[in-house]
Chains A and B, each alone.
Chain A
Amino acid sequence: MIPREFEYHAPTTIPDALGLLKQFGDEAKLLAGGHSLLPMMKLRFAQPGHLIDLGRIRELKGIREEGGALRIGAMTTENELIWSKLLQDKCPLLVEGARLISDPQVRYKGTIGGDISHGDPGNDHPALMLVLGASFVLKASTGERVVPAEGFFVGSFATLLQPGEIMTEIRIPVPAPGTGYCYSKLKRKVGDFATAAAAVTLRMKGETVQEVAIALTNVGASVLRARAAEDSLRGKAMNDASIAEAARLAMRICDPAADQRGDAEYKTVMAGEMTQRALRTARSRATR
């Protein structure tokens, strides 16, 4: 229940935060919402010597639309995502996904940036980011780079975020009107990580699939992009057979860890089931 001792810093600007990161190196951890890091520290699984709290940096907040993209400050909380009229209107997948994360209290503190950078395969935003074609603004004291979500998630608790870098913003191209979407998440109860989940975005051209993106949560060392499944659907009609085939191909890439939620077989089949449900719902929501 009690963390080990550490020093606490609450910078008010990004340069200050970067300076602290540089100063304390691998002794330091960034504190975003704290609801992944602090529980680990309370059980003494994580024991950083320094915490750099990003909570006072105003630049890291805010949701706006600029140049055809939604720009979301990395310290935007799940709750802010849910109540954002802009997102409800322009990117409802993100709202649906945020609503399925954890519980109300955790969502007041948990941040989109924290969820993405933590690298926990159980986190939900990575799958949403992949299917939305998002990119992340990463700032270091040497400069800034923008990396696509695709390829960002390297492994279990491993992302392309380098030591000395802070994720400052998430950029999402505004989904075209008529885009179908769904995040379908199987879990044991509210607050649990996914047993398996699938995120889908979908554009139809008449009766055939013009574009589709499918990503899977918590059925591998990190989020999985189901490219073969997508390829099998592109240019085809969506029916029971094509959906089943896509699900089958999605299952092929799964490699979940067995735990109290289920064994590898169950989780894999559930990934397939969630893929089917997400595809069906996304189809029903797609217009034109």
Chain B
Amino acid sequence: MAAATDTLERETKLQGLGSSRLRKEDARFIRGRGSYIDDIKLPGMLFGAIVRSPYAHARIKSINKAKALAVPGVVAVLVADDLKPVKLDWMPTLGSDVQAVLADKKVCFQMQEVAMVIAADRYSAADGADAVEVDYEELPAIVDPHMSMAPGAPIIREDIAGKDEVGHGKRTHPNHIFTWEAGDKAGTDAVFASAAVTVKEEILNPRVHPCPLETCGCVASFDKVTGQLTVYITSQAPHLVRTVVAMLSGIPESKIRIIGGDIGGGFGNKVPIYPGYVVAIVASIVTGVPIKWIESRIDNISTTGFARDYHGVGELAADKDGRIKALRFTALADHGAFNSHVSATKLPAGLFSICTGSYDIPKAYCRVDAVYTNKAPGGVAYRCSLRVTEAVYLIERMIDVLAQKLGLDKAEIRRRNFVKADKFPYTTSLGWTIDSGNYQAALEKVLKAVDYDGLRKEQAAKRAKGELMGIGVCTFTEIVGAGPTKVCDILGIGLFDSCDIRVNPTGSAIARLGTMSQGQGHATTYAQIIATELGLSSDEIQIEEGDTDKAPYGAGTWGSRSTPVGGAAAAMAARKIRAKAQKIAAHLLEVGEGDLEWEVDRFKVKGNPAQARTMKEIAMAAHTSNLPDGMEKGLDATEYYDPPNMTFPFGAYVCVVDIDRFTGETKVRRFYALDDCGTRINPMIIEGQIHGGLTEAFAVAFGQAIPFDENGNHLGNSLMDYFLPTAVETPHWETDHTVTPSPHHPIGAKGVAESPHVGGIPCFSNAVVDAFAHLGVTHMDMPHTAFRVWQLCKALGINKR
């Protein structure tokens, strides 16, 4: 009894895996001592301000720098011509396209980068940017992606007009980027042709933007004497940036240091390599002093990586009992003027083929046609897990559409179609092998918690009185953890990740990883994983990320990959250390390795537990001569982890809404979110991620949009219009969980931070549509602003007292 208590006490002290321990990184943030990019000041630093195009599509006739150069404090004005000698006027994108760093001869989206003014401080830089004179000749703009390939459509990308492919297969039109498909088209079509029931909907996933509170920026510093380039940067993937910069600049990668410090939110916005970074680097090389570039909020919303803009058509074929027999999803993808978003070479539409969702669908086909338009480049961003938001939105909307067509309850139809718990690992008809899941249990737990039957009764009563109440159900499976290098690469570089752990003689440790936190709590969660593996307190395990001079190579943090890949690397590296520690312990205790068992923080001799050595004691011994013959000194290990598969977190969400038919306003009465991310490293941190992801989902579903007029001019690109909810609008979140570990992950963990966004958006939409379902409404496009919902109320004739 005492032994068990003692074990529990020691385990608690470690604050390891599973502990809701407080965060280690908070200490600096609550004191205002974080180190974000705009906090960086280097001696002699100059400031860069970008001049941007007012037109969405125009030729540049001339650029006159004279007035700008005459502004006091202005040092230089860079345009495309100044980048040509170093061949940096164009750069490769992470999507295998090329993008103009500074526009040469033409601009292709409103606010595209045309020049950068370098000045002594940001005030002079702003005055200088105002004084650059650019003469444009406006061209007709393509704003609707359906018009991109219309006969006579203006050619947007004259620079690649002659190319018949841009990294992802044959192009059929100058404004076409790629067509990607997956599944069995003929087989799927055959099922549809003979199905008892089919449903079809046009489903828009509108263009939105991640809008982290901190905008993008960098401080680039080239040392002319040493030839060393150092770039402090808001990047979720420092090593990838380093490799790309090496490729672009010709500077040896060993002389490039990328430093990611504290980042004020990423959400995918800080993955691409933006022109501002490249020009700042060139400016630093040219001037020999550090150059800081920080964009404004309007710049951020207007020009950095947007999300979605998928114009989808969803179709399901089913039997009369609602069992789905086939799925056919297509989407027209508006990528903007350049294909800049992160794309695995073989997966230009990301992980869209997860669109069979949580369901056992025997036949499926999906196709994405990507086109250019005169809008900012992007597409993959905003907690999307690489187009998983688009895929899950489609399937979760369509299964509701099918339910309504058949008059089936929306929870029941899901039950009938779930992949059953005993079928995992389950390979979908689109080729993904889902590692583990128990969708049924998750759904039942949620339905019970919210008294689903009671809610449906209440809804019926309210409908009789003409009131609008909606119940949204969403049972999502998503796919994260990019990924197995055979399938997942960026510009050829595999998406493995890494962890390098060093245990020092006094028994604390430092671990460096190739991922990059932007608020996810890695300093705490990775320490917890290693704490449990090594039996050292997480308080004494320092975690470092972001400095490419120190951290082992990795692909950064996006697509919820840190826990699946980085966390695995951390566990495996720690296990290498523990394996060595076991040998040392055996040597110190003069027993065989097999005579030892591990308990929390020490190796004990089986049958003689008083004979033990703690990891701390072993750490000291590892630095002395008292080691087995021939054993190398030290206690450290590095692991490069190539995951065998993606991971598949899942969840069941229910949302209750009440809609005011006179104003169109929606009140979210209740939101219950059950998430299963496998092994839970820190429940407190998980809950925080769920709150945040749901809040971003709420923003997307109820108000976010990037509207344009017919000439490609932005109509709402500041925080006046771009909907970021305050504490008043944001609903209260209820969270719950089940635990279905990943069988292939070293600690069974799956990653979680994007799930609430992936699942939240369709849940909100399903709730809103459900409020009108009894009036024959099968689908409503987002955002569900009061205005748009009211328009539907009016069309249905229910908006009058």
Contact = CB atoms under 8 A, between A and B. Distances in A.
A103 B726 contact: yes
B728 A190 contact: yes
A191 interface: yes
B300 to A, nearest CB: 12
Interface stretch (A64-72, A147-155, A222-230, A260-268): A260-268
Contacts of A192: 720
B726 A190 contact: yes
B126 interface: yes
B26 interface: no
B772 to A, nearest CB: 18
Nearest to B699: A189
For A4, A189, A270, the residue with the greatest tally of chain B CB atoms inside 10 Å of its CB is A189
Contacts of B424: none
A266 B716 CA distance: 18
Contacts, number: 53
A188 B785 contact: yes
Given A2-B122, A188-B785, A190-B726, A240 B130 contact: no
Interface string B70-99: 000000000000000000000000000000
Interface stretch (B15-23, B475-483, B560-568, B786-794): B786-794
A176 interface: no
Nearest to A186: B663
A195 interface: yes
Contacts of A191: 726
Interface residues of B, number: 29
A19 B787 CA distance: 48
A238 interface: no
A2 B123 contact: yes
Nearest to B727: A190
Interface in B81-130: 122-123, 126-127, 130
Nearest to A103: B726
A260 B726 contact: no
A189 B786 contact: no
A44 interface: yes
Given A2-B122, A189-B723, A244-B801, A261 B787 contact: yes
B288 interface: no
B725 A273 contact: no
Nearest to B705: A260
Contact of A189 (B726, B787, B791): B726
Interface string A1-19: 1101100000000000000
B728 A186 contact: no
Interface in B692-739: 703, 705, 707, 715-716, 720-721, 723, 725-726, 728-729
B7 interface: no
A2 B126 contact: yes
B296 interface: yes
Nearest to A2: B126
A102 B180 CA distance: 47
B790 A266 contact: yes
Nearest to A276: B801
Contacts of B123: 2
A276 B723 CA distance: 27
A183 to B, nearest CB: 16
Interface in A190-213: 190-192, 195
A170 B728 CA distance: 31
B726 A266 contact: no
A186 B786 contact: yes
A189 B786 CA distance: 11
Contact of B707 (A103, A190, A260): A260
B663 A270 contact: yes
Contacts of A44: 130
A263 B787 CA distance: 8
Given A260-B707, A260-B716, A189 B725 contact: yes
Contacts of A263: 787
Contacts of B122: 1-2
A266 B790 CA distance: 8
Contacts of A103: 726
Contacts of A276: 801
Given A1-B296, A186-B786, A195-B786, A260 B721 contact: yes
A190 B720 CA distance: 11
Contact of B729 (A5, A190, A244): A190
A261 B787 CA distance: 7
A103 B725 CA distance: 13
Nearest to B801: A244
Contacts of A5: 127
Contacts of B725: 189
Interface in B29-59: none
A262 B787 contact: yes
B715 A260 contact: yes
A270 B664 CA distance: 10
Contacts of B716: 260
B801 A188 contact: no
A266 B723 contact: no
Interface string B771-799: 00000000000000111001100000001
Interface string B422-460: 000000000000000000000000000000000000000
A260 B716 CA distance: 7
A216 B440 CA distance: 53
Interface in B151-190: none
A192 B799 CA distance: 24
A189 B707 contact: no
A158 B467 CA distance: 43
B726 A273 contact: no
B786 A273 contact: no
B299 to A, nearest CB: 10
Nearest to A39: B720
Interface in B647-666: 662-665
B662 A273 contact: yes
Contacts of A273: 662-663
Contacts of A195: 786-787
A263 B790 CA distance: 11
Contacts of A1: 122, 126, 296
Nearest to B294: A1
Contacts of B130: 44
Contact of B791 (A2, A188, A240, A266): A266
Contacts of A186: 663, 665, 786
A188 B723 contact: yes
Nearest to B298: A43
A186 B789 CA distance: 15
B801 A240 contact: yes
Contacts of B787: 195, 261-263, 266
For A5, A188, A262, the residue with the greatest tally of chain B CB atoms inside 10 Å of its CB is A188
Nearest to B721: A260
A9 B725 CA distance: 37
For A4, A263, A270, the residue with the greatest tally of chain B CB atoms inside 10 Å of its CB is A270
22 contacts: A1-B122, A2-B126, A186-B665, A188-B703, A189-B703, A189-B723, A189-B726, A189-B728, A190-B729, A192-B720, A195-B786, A260-B705, A260-B707, A260-B716, A260-B721, A262-B790, A263-B787, A266-B664, A266-B787, A269-B790, A269-B799, A273-B663
Interface of B: 122-123, 126-127, 130, 296, 662-665, 703, 705, 707, 715-716, 720-721, 723, 725-726, 728-729, 785-787, 790-791, 799, 801
Interface of A: 1-2, 4-5, 44, 103, 186, 188-192, 195, 240, 244, 260-263, 266, 269-270, 273, 276
Given A1-B126, A186-B663, A240-B801, 17 more contacts: A1-B296, A2-B123, A2-B126, A2-B127, A5-B127, A44-B130, A188-B723, A189-B723, A189-B728, A190-B726, A190-B728, A191-B726, A192-B720, A260-B721, A261-B787, A266-B790, A270-B663
Closest 4 CB pairs of A and B: A262-B787, A2-B126, A260-B716, A260-B721
